[in-house]
Amino acid sequence: MIIVLKPNSTPEQIDHIVETIHAMGLKTDVSRGIKRTIIGVIGEEDLLRSAPLRAIPGVEEVVPILKPFKLASREYQPEDSVIDVGCGVKVGGGSLAMIAGPCAVEGREILLEIARHVKAGGANILRGGAFKPRTSPYSFQGLGEEGLKILRDVGDEMEMPVVTEVMDPRQVALVDRYTDIFQIGARNMQNFNLLAEVGQTKRPVLLKRGMSATVIDLLMSAEYIMAEGNKQVMLCERGIKSFDSSTRNLLDLSIVPNAKGLSHLPIIVDPSHATGRPDLIPAMALAAVAAGADGIHIEVHTCPEKALSDGPQALLPDQYRAVVDQMRQVAGLFQKTIPIAHAN
Amino acid sequence: MIIVLKPNSTPEQIDHIVETIHAMGLKTDVSRGIKRTIIGVIGEEDLLRSAPLRAIPGVEEVVPILKPFKLASREYQPEDSVIDVGCGVKVGGGSLAMIAGPCAVEGREILLEIARHVKAGGANILRGGAFKPRTSPYSFQGLGEEGLKILRDVGDEMEMPVVTEVMDPRQVALVDRYTDIFQIGARNMQNFNLLAEVGQTKRPVLLKRGMSATVIDLLMSAEYIMAEGNKQVMLCERGIKSFDSSTRNLLDLSIVPNAKGLSHLPIIVDPSHATGRPDLIPAMALAAVAAGADGIHIEVHTCPEKALSDGPQALLPDQYRAVVDQMRQVAGLFQKTIPIAHAN
Amino acid sequence: MIIVLKPNSTPEQIDHIVETIHAMGLKTDVSRGIKRTIIGVIGEEDLLRSAPLRAIPGVEEVVPILKPFKLASREYQPEDSVIDVGCGVKVGGGSLAMIAGPCAVEGREILLEIARHVKAGGANILRGGAFKPRTSPYSFQGLGEEGLKILRDVGDEMEMPVVTEVMDPRQVALVDRYTDIFQIGARNMQNFNLLAEVGQTKRPVLLKRGMSATVIDLLMSAEYIMAEGNKQVMLCERGIKSFDSSTRNLLDLSIVPNAKGLSHLPIIVDPSHATGRPDLIPAMALAAVAAGADGIHIEVHTCPEKALSDGPQALLPDQYRAVVDQMRQVAGLFQKTIPIAHAN
Amino acid sequence: MIIVLKPNSTPEQIDHIVETIHAMGLKTDVSRGIKRTIIGVIGEEDLLRSAPLRAIPGVEEVVPILKPFKLASREYQPEDSVIDVGCGVKVGGGSLAMIAGPCAVEGREILLEIARHVKAGGANILRGGAFKPRTSPYSFQGLGEEGLKILRDVGDEMEMPVVTEVMDPRQVALVDRYTDIFQIGARNMQNFNLLAEVGQTKRPVLLKRGMSATVIDLLMSAEYIMAEGNKQVMLCERGIKSFDSSTRNLLDLSIVPNAKGLSHLPIIVDPSHATGRPDLIPAMALAAVAAGADGIHIEVHTCPEKALSDGPQALLPDQYRAVVDQMRQVAGLFQKTIPIAHAN
């Protein structure tokens, strides 16, 4: 940690700061420049995290050097994490997750129909929401446990692992009985109690990036889960807020190599929620694979027009199959493969 | 609702859309322009909310006309809401909340000392966090129930209503036993299950704006609480994300008149979290009062240097007293007053 | 300047960096921490500005300490700049500019009518565009020199200094013949050749903040003008880009105390372009004065419905007079005054 | 265009609006809903563009339907534009521009060395700045005409077309004598006089997206150039402003399919300025090709450490060659090719 002092800081202020740091059991290195004095702090930097050094008179700026996350960091684990989500599907290390399905579980028959289509198209993980975080209290909120049962049932029949969102720490035990992967939605990325709760399970977690979260924020949220003992975290980029309303959100693909440089965790890209526009989804899915993503999350519906939630952003099954075929080719250029889900 | 068709939409497509809308029990008004055809939808627009009209072939754009919130809207209730938070303090309708206190409850003595200072300085609501949403799992997370007891105790002794954050639906009953006002933090603004839970209590709620929430998003979250029966919601602007890192967040004061035009709910401004800089807080607090805010939320600490959380953004008691004196003068220009808290 | 090295940087890399810096005539101070080594650079930091130190192997981050602007800085000139714009009107140091007028000069009669109204309402500087930066090449682009003549003429008749936009370095000499103050629009804030050109005149410059400029970017653009010899720069906040489309731009009032801390230059606030909504302008104008702004820029039109450009965001004369009356009261609380323009 | 009226608009207001529109020679279609009345406007919508309809009492919102650009639109020209930039290099229609070179022209020898490397690596257009838009007036501003001569000379020797930035309308004639392609930088995207000036030449223009420009803003700026007669515009995405400071800007790849849907113009992607980080450039370049970009712009330097401007974001020649090899493979999957530049 580096402490930059104000130009007119007094020797007494400098002494006070140095003493404060020494009192924490750390060493200092004071460097007097022509215009500024800076103090390097040597020792376990974490001791300083909660100390409000910027509040000390004479201090202009405090520059942290070490990353605030540990377990999620590439320095802690240099090799890529590979996460086994069941049915022979691994995510990371050259093996791509193809997550597909409707926004919400609407019924057994329609889900089974969609699941057949997406598995035939190349999907290896089935998604579907039973608890839906809707902006309006008057919108369809999901089928709840009934939806979970349908999802589990269809996943078993189609021999696919399933992923579904959990929104409330009180739902974790319930959802845990039905799902293979927990999804934490963007709006809950900093719902720290929910993160801690899924961190105490043994299930893989798909952690979606908040709409205004930095890459560091996202990795800190992963750290929350991992600090509880659950290391199976998959990051997910799904678009951030922007000034251009021509897309629903702004897909930030640079987070793929950015996160992979900082962390060993796999990262999935969701172009459906990011763009909200079926005409842009295929190009963005291909770009994500080329950027090095470990998986692609796409909403698919057999009849978007009738979907109860987020229909307009879904691809039709034929469109999905076509883009997976292209993604497979791009992945092949980088020696990556799309595993096929099968009975456990 | 208005449906704009693509330039090359066919008569069959137009018929299909019209039939779809009629099947919902609504009327249409088709207007054929030289370059575009548009369809006006007449009837209970809410029926259409969950219908994915944009997914129908031929549709270019769907323009909603009615606001998606009701109970929170100025149209539903033209006069300002005035919320009684106890100890004779009313918020709204010309009566300003002066919320002050430390970021976190750190101990009884220090809280009492700070409370004495802020009450003497003009504060009429005492704040202090017992459950802290910290970005890092390794940071101080608050004293929990012990902190709640201290806060209640100090509030009673100082004859001030108290406000504290609730982060988890499972904590609502516990926090309800100690606090006068629930605070929903920015990171939980779209934690819909938490909103619903406080909506089932009878306590006023201070709802902080999410870091990338629009004014409509904020009002929709208020609607979640109100739809459960609790109408006592106070909005709170505390800064949004921006590209300029010279302040912690970006204070958006235009939301004050913007929200007051759309809604009858009072709106508080928090310049402490918005700027993260004590040198900017007084100017922004004064500006907020001039903009028409119904209250100001400022962190105050007797020794920011030692604060366990967010110390650097706190004002010292003397600074607080000075800015409240100025706020009182600005408020006076607009015939507004700052009530004094006293025993119930 | 502080150079933070990567965790695994080698002694050879450290030596190489130190030699590179010494070769520039600067001193170093190497501080070896447990996890990181940092190098403090001592001497004329400016020598290092153009050196791409981050490209040297082993370097993780380079942290500049000194501000990149000089002439605009509060350290260079501690007391507020006060700028005399003519007709007895001073801007800064407790004297507020009240800039008002139509978006564009549309004709002599209508401008004279508006000028009479705004002067009666309290305005002391008349604005009007003769060259208009319109997003569409098919929109009205201003009356050009004819507009400048009208503006000068009406300014003289009403005994008010005038301000008008200059968009092109080739227009500077022309505009200089007619105006009292150059306006540099937001889209041209980093049109460096234009900045240099007005920097070579002796006229005050109203420099509008770019739509995604930081406070440092804005001050660097002021520095461009000042470096050419013209120190009479007035900054102007007019809203930045944001994700919430309910206002045209997002008014950032925190830049007022922020810029005043960093710089001695006066800062004006333009709530008309920032919000684009007459219903929000009065509240934001009052807030700006309370935040410490040195002037307020408001578009006024006698008949917004017929204005050729940006009509909807203009106030009517009566609305303008009412808000100036309130601004005068708020300014009075801070011992500030609104000078009255009169013949030179 | 659709005009949405306020809920309480009076019959007189509605009549007034209808008359106003009829006075413009347009027809109306009034549709009275239960809660709102809407007016569809039929006829040449452009007549309405400059009319401030929102200012008319009773109007709540005005929704334009037609796109504000024409010549740049896909509707105006359905097939992709293919732009011949010389030396056998075409851009668009399956032919990819590979633009490479140093940020600034620093001298003949170093430019020739870099040009040899990039041409060998697969580049087909040489870039280099002679006029540099630097944020600080104290930074290196480019070699001016001397730099243009060197660039032309090296381009001729290497048989490559060249591109260089023009910052000032007064420089257009000069730069036109030396370059094959004008570059308009991000800061000048809305320098409308400069756009008009290059629009009067016959040279292709590389138009960089402004840091907070929407896709519509970018296309409107292209329209400015095209409206003057020059149809040879290449769009360029180079990153926009964002809240995450871990990259220099935020690369928005969704603009590639988004712009291609709206417009026939080719679009180039510049991952160097977008990320500012050599470790992220290769992944983003590959993603851009997969997203459908018509070319990639990368800064390359033989010794970034010594570059006078923007060195840290440059790739080394070996890194460039490697990523072009990979881009060629990705392009091949989509039946696209990278042409080789040769003597005209």
Spans of all domains in chain D: 2-63, 83-333
**Inter-residue contact A237 to A271 (CB < 8 Å):** no
User: For residue C64, what pLDDT is reported?
Assistant: 67
Name the interface residues of A facing C (CB cutoff 8 Å): 2, 4, 7, 29, 31-36, 38, 40-45, 61, 63, 65-66, 75, 241-243, 245
C-alpha–C-alpha distance, residues B119 and B100, integer Å: 9
Pair of tokens at residue D192: 């409308």
On the question of pLDDT at B29 being above 80, the answer is no
Span of B133-147, B169-183, B239-253 with lowest mean pLDDT: B133-147
- What is the pLDDT tens value at each position of chain D, 344 positions in all? 677 787 778 888 888 888 888 877 777 778 776 667 778 776 665 555 545 676 677 777 777 666 778 899 988 899 999 999 999 999 999 999 999 999 999 999 999 999 999 999 999 999 999 998 887 888 778 899 999 999 999 999 999 999 999 999 999 999 999 999 999 999 999 999 999 999 999 999 999 999 999 999 999 999 999 999 999 999 999 999 999 989 999 999 999 999 999 999 999 999 999 999 999 999 999 999 999 999 999 999 987 666 666 556 789 999 999 999 999 999 999 999 999 999 87
Residue written as token pair 């004002």: B315
Q: Which residues on chain B are in Cβ contact (under 8 Å) with A238?
A: none
C-alpha–C-alpha distance, residues D235 and D213, integer Å: 12
Chain C interface mutation, best of D132, D187, D223, D310, highest count of C Cβ atoms under 10 Å: D187
User: For residue D8, what pLDDT is reported?
Assistant: 76
User: For residue D70, what pLDDT is reported?
Assistant: 87
User: For residue B50, what pLDDT is reported?
Assistant: 47
Q: Å from C243 to nearest chain A CA?
A: 4
C-alpha–C-alpha distance, residues A224 and A213, integer Å: 15
Question: Are B65 and D33 a contacting pair at CB < 8 A?
Answer: yes
Which of D258, D198, D241 shows the shortest CA–CA distance to D222? D198
User: For residue B46, what pLDDT is reported?
Assistant: 56
Pair of tokens at residue B181: 């006002």
Chain B interface mutation, best of D31, D39, D42, highest count of B Cβ atoms under 10 Å: D31
Pairing of strands C162-165, C125-127: parallel
Pairing of strands B83-86, B59-63: unpaired
Q: Å from A289 to nearest chain D CA?
A: 7
Please state, as a whole number, how many other Cβ atoms lie within 10 Å of the Cβ of residue A34: 11
C-alpha–C-alpha distance, residues A250 and D254, integer Å: 8
Question: Are D246 and A257 a contacting pair at CB < 8 A?
Answer: no
C-alpha–C-alpha distance, residues C305 and C307, integer Å: 6
On the question of pLDDT at B225 being above 90, the answer is yes
Pair of tokens at residue B60: 């270019």
CATH class of B83-333: alpha beta
**Inter-residue contact C222 to D221 (CB < 8 Å):** no
User: For residue A75, what pLDDT is reported?
Assistant: 85
**Inter-residue contact A241 to A217 (CB < 8 Å):** no
The C-alpha angle D61, D66, D71, rounded to 5 degrees, equals: 140
pTM across the whole model: 0.91
Question: Are A309 and B50 a contacting pair at CB < 8 A?
Answer: yes
Q: Which residues pair with D101 in a beta bridge?
A: D299
User: For residue D125, what pLDDT is reported?
Assistant: 98
Q: Which residues on chain B are in Cβ contact (under 8 Å) with A241?
A: 212, 241
C-alpha–C-alpha distance, residues B236 and B158, integer Å: 24
List all chains that touch chain C, counting a touch as 3 or more CB pairs closer than 8 Å. Answer: A, B, D
C-alpha–C-alpha distance, residues C126 and A167, integer Å: 56
- What is the pLDDT tens value at each position of chain C, 344 positions in all? 677 787 778 888 888 888 888 877 777 878 776 667 778 776 665 555 545 676 677 777 777 666 778 899 988 899 999 999 999 999 999 999 999 999 999 999 999 999 999 999 999 999 999 998 887 888 778 899 999 999 999 999 999 999 999 999 999 999 999 999 999 999 999 999 999 999 999 999 999 999 999 999 999 999 999 999 999 999 999 999 999 989 999 999 999 999 999 999 999 999 999 999 999 999 999 999 999 999 999 999 987 666 666 556 789 999 999 999 999 999 999 999 999 999 87
User: For residue B51, what pLDDT is reported?
Assistant: 58
C-alpha–C-alpha distance, residues B56 and A305, integer Å: 6
User: For residue B309, what pLDDT is reported?
Assistant: 60
Q: Which residues on chain A are in Cβ contact (under 8 Å) with C32?
A: 42
Question: Are A254 and D275 a contacting pair at CB < 8 A?
Answer: yes
Query: What's the mean per-residue pLDDT of chain B?
Result: 90
**Inter-residue contact D134 to D167 (CB < 8 Å):** no
What is the C-alpha R_g of chain B? 23
pLDDT tier at B61, thresholds 50, 70, 90: confident
User: Which residue among C46, C53, C194 places its CB closest to the CB of D138?
Assistant: C46
Nearest chain D residue to C57 by CA distance is D305
Q: Å from B164 to nearest chain C CA?
A: 27
C-alpha–C-alpha distance, residues C306 and D55, integer Å: 9
Architecture of domain A2-63: 2-Layer Sandwich (3.30)
**Inter-residue contact C225 to C206 (CB < 8 Å):** no
Q: Pick A47 or B203 by higher pLDDT.
A: B203
Q: Å from C120 to nearest chain B CA?
A: 22
Q: Distance of CA C149 to CAs A62, C146, C204, C308, Å?
A: 54, 5, 19, 19
Q: Which residues pair with B149 in a beta bridge?
A: none
Name the interface residues of A facing D (CB cutoff 8 Å): 212, 214-216, 240, 242-247, 250-254, 256-258, 261, 274-275, 279-280, 283-284, 286-292, 326, 329-330, 333
Residue written as token pair 């939409």: B9
Q: Å from A30 to nearest chain C CA?
A: 9
User: For residue C12, what pLDDT is reported?
Assistant: 84
Q: What is the ipTM of this complex?
A: 0.90
Count CB pairs under 8 A between chains B and C.
Answer: 106
Q: Which residues on chain D are in Cβ contact (under 8 Å) with B33?
A: 40-43, 65
Q: Å from C82 to nearest chain D CA?
A: 24
User: For residue D50, what pLDDT is reported?
Assistant: 47
Q: Which residues of chain A have pLDDT under 50?
A: 50
User: For residue C50, what pLDDT is reported?
Assistant: 47
Which of B170, B174, B194 shows the shortest CA–CA distance to B184? B194
